[in-house]
Structure 1
Amino acid sequence: MNDHPPSQTDSRSALDRTNWVNFATTVLARDGLAGVRIESLARELNVTKGSFYWHFRDRQALLNAIIAEWKTARLHELQLEAPRTPAEAEAQIHAIIDRYSTRPDADRLLLELAIRDWARRDSHVANIVEQVDVARQARATRLFEMAGFAPEEARNRALLMFTHVFGLSMMMFEHSISEDLAARHEAIARLICRK
């Protein structure tokens, strides 16, 4: 049994690359890109900067890892089981609207907004965000096609769906309509899917 507290060397070896990326991603969502600074991350993690440099060449290497992980995670989410019937496709559309609108994950929405803000200033990040958006749009379009819509109509409805769910995350009106938010989203989902 070890009766002494871990040394800084022990802390450094206990923090792996994934720990740094995950924590920096949390800070990005919380404080924006300006908050992702090596010194402040190390201070919050209670380790030396040497722990950071054990895993990353510099801040840019960490930022590259954050955006790469975000892209991988978002594209992985799109690997849903393909629907076999129009009813299953429509159910998946409703589930997407419910997930992002009715039961939003606040941390996830903050990260999405922070990534998009970052993309406004960084062409590499903007390119990655565009790749994710194109993949999301393509997946949603396929769902609408499976639900029985012609290709052009499916593309339009997919865009409308994402405009709804992501646009809503930028609006601050929780007190004015929170009492019937789920009902409103269900009604919007029905409108988007109406033939």
Structure 2
Amino acid sequence: MEKPPRVQLDRSAWIQAALDTLANEGVTGVRVEVLSKRLGVTKGSFYWHFKDRQDLLSAVLDTWKEGRIQDIVKQTHPDPSASPAQKIAQIHRVIDIYSTSRNRKGILIELAMREWARRDNATAAIVEEVDAWRLRCAREMFLGCGLPMHEASTRSMLLYAYVFGVSMMIYDRFDADVPRLKDDIRDMIAGGLST
């Protein structure tokens, strides 16, 4: 009888498995032996790609950071030739994208990262860097609409707090007209911008 082919994993498969585990169990659940069993490979496969558990955790942090920064830059990147109306429409689109997205796994990873950051200075620095990027990108959109720095900063903080908060809430029963509620909030964040 022929043996089944051995599973060949690359570094990214280990990182993805660690992110999945992080979402469900937090950083303490990210252990080499547990991941090996879940992936159906030996621990030797892990050590082919990583020096040790800390090397994996560093790769997880880098992957999360790069993904979050690339995403916000992609959504907020200004078009230099955009009209004022297009710049305002971009702000509305960003608000809509981030306030309607209900990626449960993404939310769980975000929460796990923040919990991890409470106990680990290196992780806290990464989370702070991601937050700074998100806020800076949002602020640049408001600055692009001609708002002064202080108001652009305030609106970017309000936008970020709204998007982050709504992603964690179960709010469907709070108000009978959720679409109107979201439109009102969007108008409060982006209202008064001139075209």
State the TM-score, normalized to the length of structure 2.
Answer: 0.88
Q: What is the SS of the residue equivalent to 1:168?
A: helix
Partner of 1:192: 189
User: Offset of 1:174 from its aligned partner?
Assistant: 4.2
Partner of 1:5: 4
Q: What is the SS of the residue equivalent to 1:104?
A: coil
Partner of 1:82: 78
Q: Is the 8 A contact 1:94 1:189 kept in 2?
A: yes
Q: Is the 8 A contact 2:175 2:181 kept in 1?
A: no
The amino acid across from 1:167 in the alignment is G
Partner of 1:112: 110
Compared with structure 1, are the counterparts of its residues 70 and 179 closer, same or farther at alpha carbon in structure 2 (3 Å cutoff)? farther
Q: Structure 2: where are the runs of 5+ without partners? A: none
The amino acid across from 2:173 in the alignment is S
Q: Structure 1: where are the runs of 5+ without partners? A: none
Q: Is the 8 A contact 1:24 1:36 kept in 2?
A: yes
Counterparts of residues 47-86 of structure 1 (less than 5 Å): 47-80=41-74, 81-83=77-79, 84-86=82-84
Give the whole-Å Cα distance in 2 for the aligned partners of 1:17 and 1:179. Answer: 47
Deviates further, 104-113 or 178-187: 178-187
Q: Is the 8 A contact 2:101 2:167 kept in 1?
A: no
Q: Percent sequence identity over matched residues?
A: 42
How many matched pairs? 187
Give the whole-Å Cα distance in 2 for the aligned partners of 1:161 and 1:63. Answer: 30
State the TM-score, normalized to the length of structure 1.
Answer: 0.88
Q: What is the SS of the residue equivalent to 2:73?
A: coil
Partner of 1:30: 24
Compared with structure 1, are the counterparts of its residues 179 and 70 closer, same or farther at alpha carbon in structure 2 (3 Å cutoff)? farther
